[in-house]
Structure 1
Amino acid sequence: MNLSPIRKIYQGVADRRQMFRMFDRHAQRPNRWEGDDSALYRGEWFELGQVGHDYMFEVLPPLWMRGDMFAMREFLTGSITSIFFNLSIDGRVRYFHGYCDLSDRASPAQMRDAIVERESRPVRSMTREERIEHIWSSTHDDYRGYADWHFPQAERGKHIVMMCAPWQGRDFKLLDQLSDAEISAKLPVHLRFLPDVIAA
């Protein structure tokens, strides 16, 4: 799956349970402790509530604080760590989490600017990639996974999700190969008919 450098991975405000799930939404990946997994996390962001934001602020003393953001002291992998933002968007303070690569000093500011730009759009909209990311983030671990030996060699390791239909039984399909109709069926009702970002 070709991911943009900075990407929204969940639509809406994540509650406490969902927030902790998304902190490591790639936990089931094969060969988890082999190699550098920074690319999986770098650039991911989502919105959370003030309670979640404040809780994370109090867990450990921040690595650093800069006005509207702070960095977690513990690193997820390599130089990737959590950055928490409290941003005023359209006159309302909102809270966000993102994974930034601190080897690039501009990374937190770039993340902040991308979030503000994305969330300042006058019309609610989603790209195809955002729809797919939301499906992956919100699907229970038992119904998602990674392509294994059942798939061609070139597809192994890619995200897969379970498809259920009376005429086909249960089967897994590559996430990035879902049709528009399949994506719509897997999204919650309130997200199914949002316009595409290009049309916004």
Structure 2
Amino acid sequence: MTLLSVRKVYQGIADRRQMFRMFDRHAQRPNRWETDDSALYRGEWFEIGEPEYSHMFELLPPLWMRADMFAMREYLTGSITGIFFTLKIDSARRYFHGYCDLADKGSPDRMQRAIIDRECRPVKAMTREERLEHIWSSTHDDYRGYAGERWPAHLRGARTVLFYAGQHGTVFKLLDQLTDAEISAKLPVHLRYLPEQHAA
């Protein structure tokens, strides 16, 4: 899967448990820490609630802050760190977390604009990529993973999810090769029938 530069990875508002799970959605990746995995995280964002935003603000002194955002002091990998946003969208104050590359000074502002643009759409819709990212984010670690030695060499390291395959039982399938019907089956009911938004 080609990672979009700025991408929503969870639909809805993440509670504290889900927020902490998504801080490292790629914890099971093979060869963790052996390569620069910045591209996995750079540009990921999701919505959180005000209590989660306040908790993170009080956890450690921020690296820097502005009226509408602050940066975590600890870096995740390389120059990637978490940025927390307070944004007014449709007259409501909302809160978001995203991973920005601070080596690129404009990264937080671009992410802020992308979040506002995404959340101000008049019609609720999801792209195929957003559907896949939501499945990955909401699937328990025991039911997702990465293609290993039993997969052809060119597929090793690709993300997989456990899927019920009828008479064949449960099998791991490549996340980015799920059919529309399989994606629908893995999504919660309230997200299954949203229209598809084509990526810009």
- Coarse TM-score class (shorter-chain normalised): over 0.9
Task: Please name the residue that 1:133 is paired with.
Answer: 133
Are 2:89 and 2:119, in contact at CA under 8 Å, matched by a contact in 1? Answer: yes
Instruction: Spell out, residue by residue over 1:12-63, the C-alpha distance to the aligned partner (whole angstroms, 9 max, x if none).
Output: 0000100000000100111101011101100000000000000000001101
Between the aligned partners of 2:91 and 2:51, the Cα distance in structure 1 is 19
Between the aligned partners of 2:133 and 2:77, the Cα distance in structure 1 is 21
Q: Are 2:143 and 1:143 aligned?
A: yes
Secondary structure of the residue aligned to 1:194 is coil
Gaps of 5+ in 2: none
Task: Please name the residue that 2:58 is paired with.
Answer: 58
Between the aligned partners of 2:177 and 2:198, the Cα distance in structure 1 is 20
Between the aligned partners of 1:164 and 1:195, the Cα distance in structure 2 is 25
Identical-residue share of aligned pairs (%) = 70
Secondary structure of the residue aligned to 1:167 is helix
Give the superposed CA RMSD.
Answer: 1.0
Q: Which amino acid aligns with 2:64?
A: W
TM-score of the superposition, structure 2-length normalised?
0.98
- Structure 1 residue 91: deviation in Å? 0.4
Are 2:165 and 2:171, in contact at CA under 8 Å, matched by a contact in 1? Answer: no
Aligned length: 199
Task: Please name the residue that 1:122 is paired with.
Answer: 122
- Structure 1 residue 168: deviation in Å? 1.8
TM-score of the superposition, structure 1-length normalised?
0.98
Task: Please name the residue that 1:180 is paired with.
Answer: 180
User: In the TM superposition, what are the counterparts of 1:39-188 in structure 2 within 5 Å?
Assistant: 39-188=39-188
Secondary structure of the residue aligned to 2:198 is helix
Between the aligned partners of 2:182 and 2:166, the Cα distance in structure 1 is 14
Secondary structure of the residue aligned to 1:150 is coil
